[in-house]
Structure 1
Amino acid sequence: MSSTLQIGLAVAGGVVLAGVVAHSAWSSRRNAPRKPDPIVAEPAATEDAADGERREPGFDDASLPLPAAPERRATLDPLIDVIAPIALEGPVSGDAVLAALPATRRVGSKPFAVEGRNVNGGQWEAAQAGQRYDALQAGVQLANRTGALNEIEFSEFVMKTQAFADALNGAPEFPEMREEVARARELDQFASSHDAQLSFTLRALHAAWSPGYLHQNAARLGFVAGMIPGRMVLPSGTPGLPPLLGLSFDSQAALAEDPDQAAIRSVTLTLDVPQVERAEQPFVRLREAAMALAQAMDGVVTDDTARPLTREAMDVIGSELEQLYDTLDTRELSAGSALARRLFG
C-alpha cells in the first residue's frame, strides 16, 4: 500500500512538474521577441530607374541613394547669409582659389563658403579646378539650429575672409557688423518659432519585436537601413536629398550578438518638416507608415508621453502643419528648399 501510494505521488508530481515546464516554455515562447518571417527573407524587389532591371535591396548602407554630384551653382543667398564681395585685380584660376581656401569651412558653428563668378557665362558657383573667375564672394550663414551668428563669429568671418583675399590680391568689402548680427537674431527668432520635428512612437501591445522582424516590416513600406545602428530611413526619390522619414529604435538591440533575442518594445517615426518638400506629402506618409506598422506588428501609435494618437488628433496636427508650410512659403523659406535645408540644419 505504501509502495503504491509513493508511486502515485511520484506520478502526480511528475505530471505537475511537466505542467510547470510546459507552462514555462509556453510563456517563454509567448513573450519572446517576434522574429522575421523565414519565408520572406528579403524585402520586395525594387526597380532600378536606369535600366528597368529588378534589384533586390539589402539592409546595408548600399541601399541608400548615392549623393548627387555637386552642382555648379551659387549657394550663398542674402536672405540667410552675410556676403562680402571680393574685388580682384584680374581673373584668377579656380586652382588658385581652391589653394587659398581656409582649412575649415566653418566660422564658429556656422558654415563658411566662397564662390566665384565664372568668366564663361557670368554664373556664380563654388570654385572648380580648370575654370577662371573675375570676382569672388565669401559668406557665412546668419543662423542655423545652433543659434544666431554673434559678434565673435562675425569677427572670425572677417579675419578668415581677409586672409583668403590677401592670398589672391583681392579686396573684400564687409557689411556693418551690428546690422548683420541684428539680422541674424531676427532670422534665428523666426526659425526657432517655425521649426518642426514631428515624431510618433509605435509601442508593442503584447510580444516585443526583434530587429529582424522590425526591419522586415519596415522594408515592406520602403524603409532601408541608415548609417547608424538602430536607424532606418525612407529615402527621397531624388538622390542627394534628405530622407522623407526616419525610424529609430534601441541601438543596443541593433548591435546585439543574437538579434533574434533582442527585444524592442518601441520605435520612433520622425519627420523633419523643413527638410522635406511639401509636395512629397511627408506627414501623410508618416501617418500611413505608423498605422501600417501598428497593424502589422500588433502595436499602438502614441505621442511622446505614451498617450494613444487618434485620427482626430492627427488631423489637427496636419492642419497646423499646413499653416506652417504657408508661413515658410511666404518667407521664401519653403520646406525642402535649399535655403530651408541650410537654415534648419
Structure 2
Amino acid sequence: MSTLQLSLAIIGGLVLAGVVAYNAWITRNSVPRTPRERHSADEAAQSPASDTAEDVPHPAELEHRGERIEPVLHDAFEAVSLPSGSEERPHAPSVVPVTLNTVVHTPDKKPGLDALIDVITPLLLDSPVSGDALIAALPGTRRVGSKPFAVEGENAESGDWESPRPGQRYSALQAGVQLANRSGALNDIEFSEYVVKAQAYADAVGAAPEFPDMRAEVARARELDAFASGHDAQLGFTLRARRAAWSPGYVTQNAAQIGFVAGSLPGRMVLSGSQSGQAPILSLSYDSQAAMAEDPEKSALREFTLSLEVTHVPRSEQPFVRLRQAAATMAQAMDGVVTDDAGQPLSTETMDHIGADLEGLYDALDSRDLSAGSPQARRLFS
C-alpha cells in the first residue's frame, strides 16, 4: 500500500469516527430528560463531591450568561386589545422580590352587577316574588350578543342583592348587560336585543322595566372599551431547552417544586393566588399532544410557556416578580433559557423595563376603580 493510500485510509477512518461520534451526541441530546434524571441529579448534588463544585449562581445572574440579542419591548410586553385598541405604557418604580409560596383563604361573595361596567335596568315589582319563580322565568341564554346578561334580586330578608335562589323572596329586581369585554363595546343591535330580553323577563314575573337611554349607554360602552383596549395586557415568557429536550414529566416535576399544580386541561399547570376563587397568578403550558401521549416520557419538549394575565391578578400578589422568579428558577434547574415569542433571550434590563411599564398600567387601572384582579376588571377583560 502506497503512502497516499495509507494517508487516505487514515483520513477516512477519522471522518467515519467523527460522524459516529456526532450521531451519538445528537441521539443523546434528542432523548428527553425524565423525572428520574432530576432525582439522580438531586442525589448527586447532595453527595460529598458537590462540596468542591462551583457555587450555583443566583437566578438573577442567569440572564447574563452568553450573548443576548435585545428584543424590542413590544416583543415581551404584548397587549391584547379590543377592536379599537391602542396601548398606553407609563412608567413607575420597579418591583421587589417575593416568595412563590401562597396561602389559601375563604372565598369572597360572588360580585353582582356594577354600574361601572354594566347597563342596569330596575324591574319594578308590586309585591315580593319568590326566588323559585324568578329562576323559572330566566331565559335559556344568559348572553346578549357577545355580552353577559344577568338578573339580580334584593333579598327581602337580608337586603343583599344576589342572583335569585330557591326558597328566598325578593322585594326588588334589576336586569343588566355588560358594557364591554374583549369582544368590543355594546352596540345598538346588542342594546336592542337586551331590551327585548329584559322586557320578556319582566313580563314573565310581573315587573315593569325602566330602561336607560340607549344613546347614552352605547356611548358609555364605547368610552369604556377605548380605555380597556389601551390597558389590557398578557405576558408570556418562553423557556427553551439549551441541549437535551424535556419530557412532560420532567417539566411538571420542576414546576411542582415552585408551587405549580395541574390545571384543568392537558399540558397546563397553574400557580394559585393567596385568595381561594382568585384567578391563577401564573399559568404554564406545553404541547397538549405530548401530555396525552401513551408514554409521555418518550415525548420530547423543546419549550414551554409561562404566562401572566395581567389584568386578572391583583398587584398585591406581585405577579410579574413571580413570573421572573419562576422563569429564572426553572431555567437554571432545567438547563434552559428564557426568551420572548420570537426566541430572543430576555435581559435583566428588558425585564426591568417591562416591570416599570406594568406599574404604570396598574396605576391607570386603579384610577378607574378597575384594579387588576378585581371582579370588575376580570369581567371587563374577558
Structure-1-length-normalised TM-score: 0.84
SS at match of 1:232: strand
Match of 1:34 in 2: 33
Q: Confirm or deny: 8 A CA contact 1:269 1:290 kept in the other structure.
A: yes
Distance 1:204 1:323 in 2: 33
> Could you say what secondary structure the match of 1:86 adopts?
strand
Q: 1:282 aligns with which of 312, 315, 319?
A: 319
Which residue in 2 is equivalent to 1:150? 187
Could you tell me whether the CA contact under 8 Å between 2:29 and 2:245 is conserved in 1?
no
Q: Is the 8 A contact 1:202 1:268 kept in 2?
A: yes
For the 8 Å contact 2:152–2:174, the answer to whether it is kept is yes
Which of 208, 212, 217 is the equivalent residue of 1:180?
217
Quick one: structure 1 residues 17 and 325, their matched pair in 2 at CA, closer, same or farther if it must change by over 3 Å? closer
- Residues 55-66 of structure 1: matches in 2 within 5 Å? none
Give the CA RMSD over aligned residues: 2.6
Question: In the alignment, residue 155 of structure 1 is paired with which amino acid?
Answer: S
Contact 1:66 1:240 in 2 (8 A): no
Q: Report the secondary structure of 1:37's partner residue.
A: helix
Q: Deviations 1:141-193 (Å, cap 9, x if unpaired)?
A: 00011111111111111111111110111000101111111111110110010
Q: Distance in 1 between matches of 2:236 and 2:296?
A: 25
Three-state SS of the structure 2 residue aligned to 1:256 is coil
Please state whether the residue corresponding to 1:240 is helix, strand or coil: coil
**How much does 1:29 deviate?**
2.5
1:338 aligns with 2:337: no
Point out 4+ residue stretches in structure 1 off by more than 3 angstroms: 16-27, 38-41, 65-71
Change (3 A) 1:20 1:316: closer
Q: Distance in 2 between matches of 1:312 and 1:295?
A: 19
Contact map agreement 1:224 1:234 (CA 8 A) in 2: yes
Which amino acid in structure 2 is aligned with residue 263 of structure 1? A
Instruction: Tell whether 2:188 aligns with 1:189.
Output: no
Identity between Structure 1 and Structure 2 (%): 65
> Who is 2:301 aligned against?
264
Selected match of 2:328 from 254, 278, 291 = 291
How far apart in 2 are the matches of 1:268 and 1:334? Answer: 26
Cα separation, 2, equivalents of 1:318 and 1:30: 35
- What displacement does 1:39 show? 7.8
Structure 1 partner of 2:86: none
Q: CA deviation at 1:30?
A: 3.1
Q: Mean alpha-carbon deviation: is it higher for 308-317 or for 25-34?
A: 25-34
Give the alignment of 1:307-318 within 5 angstroms: 307-318=344-355
Letter in 2 for 1:222: G
For 1:203 and 1:38, locate their aligned partners in 2 and report how far apart those are by CA, in whole Å: 18
Which amino acid in the other structure matches residue 238 of structure 1?
Q
**SS class of match (2:166):** coil
Count matched residues: 309
The counterpart of 1:87, out of the listed 99, 124, 127, is 124
Alignment partners' CA distance in 1, 2:251 and 2:38: 15
- Distance between the aligned counterparts of 2:225 and 2:18, measured in 1? 66
Partner in structure 2 of residue 305 of structure 1: 342
2:169 aligns with 132
Match of 1:254 in 2: 291
The 8 Å contact of residues 74 and 124 in structure 1, kept in 2 or not, is answered as no
Match of residue 249 from structure 2: 212
- Contact 2:104 2:273 survives alignment (8 Å): no
CA-to-aligned-CA distance 1:108-141 (integer Å, 9 cap, x gap): 1111110001112322111111111111000000
Look up the SS of the partner of 2:170 in the other structure. Answer: strand
Q: Any unmatched runs of 5+ in structure 1?
A: 1-15, 42-64
Q: Please give the alpha-carbon distance, in whole angstroms, between the structure 2 residues aligned to 1:122 and 1:19.
A: 82
Q: Give how far 1:251 is off.
A: 1.4
Query: Structure 1 CA distance, aligned partners of 2:222 and 2:241?
Result: 43
Matches within 5 A, 1:59-78: 71=109, 75-78=112-115
Instruction: Determine the C-alpha separation between the residues in 1 that align with 2:360 and 2:26.
Output: 50
SS at 2:351's partner residue? helix
| Alignment gaps of 5+ in structure 2 | 1-14, 41-102
Please tell me the residue identity of whatever aligns with 1:235: S
Report deviation, 1:19: 9.5
- 2:64 aligned residue: none
Q: Distance in 2 between matches of 1:124 and 1:252?
A: 45
1:198 partner SS = strand
Q: Per the alignment, do residues 174 and 210 of structure 1 end up closer, same or farther by CA in structure 2, a change over 3 Å counting? A: same
Please report the TM-score for the alignment, with normalisation by the length of structure 2: 0.76
Residue range with higher mean Cα deviation, 177-186 or 19-28: 19-28
Q: Which residue of 1 aligns with 2:156?
A: 119
Say whether the 8 Å CA contact 1:210–1:261 is kept in structure 2.
Answer: yes
Q: In the TM superposition, what is the alpha-carbon distance from 1:68 to its structure 2 partner?
A: 7.8
* Paired residues of 2:32 and 2:300 also in contact (CA < 8 A): yes
Inter-partner Cα distance in structure 2 for 1:70 and 1:159: 33
